[in-house]
Amino acid sequence: MCFLGGRFVHRWEVRPAPVIVKKFADDLNSGLLEYKARVCAKIRNDGGGGYVLVEAELWEKGKHWSKTARVFIAPGEVEDVTIEFPEVTVGGPPGEHVVTANGEW
């Protein structure tokens, strides 16, 4: 139990509160014609244990992609999340990227 909002609640009643500690995008060259980009984030849960929905968006040469991942993060834990984008083309580092994280009930 913990004290929240003027009352005692069970830990499972507290929604996850994800905080993005670090994020970056890079490219992966896994073969001659196998190229993909990835967006990585380190997420800390400052709330109750539960599932966190992580969305990564990536822009490259006028194109836009958006993908999500659902991960369980215990209270106070930090989780590394990687979302891959095989749709991107070869030629330089990935473009602009955005990462968001929201706790689910």
Tokens of 31: 């073969």
Q: Residue ranges of the domains in the chain? A: 14-103
Distance, CA of 101 to CA of 103 (rounded, Å): 7
Distance, CA of 105 to CA of 92 (rounded, Å): 39
Instruction: Determine the CATH number of domain 14-103.
Output: 2.60.40
pLDDT, one tens digit per residue, over 73-105 is: 999 999 999 999 988 876 666 779 999 999 997
Give me the mean pLDDT over the 38-65 stretch: 94
Tokens of 7: 């009352």
Distance, CA of 63 to CA of 40 (rounded, Å): 19
Distance between terminal CA atoms of the chain?
17
Confidence of residue 10 (pLDDT cuts 50, 70, 90): low
Report pLDDT for 69. Answer: 98
- Residue bearing the bigger pLDDT, 24 or 30: 24
